[in-house]
Chain A
Amino acid sequence: MQDRADDDASDEDEEPLRRARAGDRTAYSALVRRHQRAVHRHLLRMVGVPDDALELTQEVFVRAWQALPQWEPSAKFRTWLFRIASNAALDLLRRRKTVEFVPLDDAAGDACAHPDAGPERRAQAAQELRRLEAALARLSPEHREILLLREIEDLSYDELAGALSLTVGTVKSRLARARAALIEESKD
């Protein structure tokens, strides 16, 4: 799974991070390449517009570079990037006021249905995913954010607390409310 690969990469961040903090831009580019897909994936589902997500992805890595001297080695670099990304996404959404969302790729149903499934089952799977994406887009940004970080990026409760500047208790209750809200939205 991609997320596990990202987790495994966290130990590999140590050396390039040390060099990047000393001003080595080549080392920083390696870090960008390692984490850009996760950051972009999160931002794409948060802000819904591909061009905005791409621009924000660049912005997140520029901001991270500028803030590298303040980065605490005790925090995971990936979690810290999500913290910057979440703030950037919420800023954009506050300015924009309305939320658009990206329609799911037509091939998505094929990707998630069982390989032996017939065309009818595949179409049904694609429709379920579209409904999930649409329900996600209708959630409040705070609920969408915590669900995406937990379910797609696989952050633990401690990592969510770090990325969203919350206590673990608040993470637990916000996640529960976000799930309940999403289930209700999916029924509509």
Chain B
Amino acid sequence: MTKRLDDEPCPRLEALSALTDDALPLAARASLETHVAGCAVCAPVLAELAQLRNRFAALPRDAATRDIDVAAAVDRRIGALASSPPPVAPRRPAARRRPWWQLALLAPGGVASVALGLWLGGAAPLPATMATSSPAGAGIAAQMAAFSSLPPGSLCPAGLACGGAPR
């Protein structure tokens, strides 16, 4: 398997890269250069990094940018910014406050709704005996069957689990 450049311990690669940029302090530079001169691993890596720099130096700088001039277009856009009003965040309409007398009229309705909810909630859990033994209970049970998890007419596989009497 070939060894990749970045398989090398990072500090060494970083130091060699900084060396090609001439970005090491004098002492570190001298020490690394002495090491590289006798190191079969670092010498070719440094050579490749230096070669890469040379290839970049050969890249044409201005081939595609020679004729561009965006100054006029930028000035037009800046001018348009100046002439248009600054963007304003859309404001949410302020919540309309109801007068106190409207709130007073609404309050009894709210109280009645809560009371009805509590009354219905208290009546909801039906005892199993009531559901089957009294005509009223049977009627309520029939109405509540619409909310059962079993489809109408299906056979319950476990009568006890459904609250029915054992057969």
Contact = CB atoms under 8 A, between A and B. Distances in A.
Do the two chains belong together in a single complex?
Answer: yes
A152 B61 contact: yes
Contact of B64 (A44, A125, A128): A44
Q: Interface on chain A toward B: helix, strand, loop, or mixed SS?
A: helix
Q: Interface on chain B toward A: helix, strand, loop, or mixed SS?
A: helix
A183 B13 CA distance: 13
Interface string A1-27: 011000000000000000000000100
Contact of A172 (B18, B64, B65, B71): B18
B21 A150 contact: yes
Nearest to A182: B52
A62 B81 contact: yes
A177 interface: yes
A153 to B, nearest CB: 9
B96 interface: no
Interface string B90-124: 00000000000000000000000000000000000
A79 to B, nearest CB: 17
A142 to B, nearest CB: 15
Interface residues on chain A, size class? 35 or more
Interface residues of B, number: 39
B65 A41 contact: yes
Contacts of B59: 108, 112, 129, 132-133, 151-152
A2 B62 contact: yes
Which among B13, B16, B65, B72 has the highest number of chain A CB atoms within 10 Å? B65
Given A176-B13, A180-B4, A44 B61 contact: no
Contacts of B49: 179, 183
Contacts of A167: none
Interface string B120-142: 00000000000000000000000
A161 B53 CA distance: 20
A65 B78 contact: yes
Which among A107, A125, A176 has the highest number of chain B CB atoms within 10 Å? A176
Contact of A184 (B6, B55, B62): B6
A102 interface: yes
A184 B17 contact: no
Given A44-B65, A172-B18, A173-B10, A157 B23 contact: yes
Contact of B6 (A40, A172, A180): A180
Closest 6 CB pairs of A and B: A176-B17, A151-B56, A112-B58, A180-B5, A180-B6, A32-B71
Interface of B: 4-6, 10, 13-14, 16-18, 21, 23, 48-49, 52-53, 55-66, 68-75, 77-79, 81
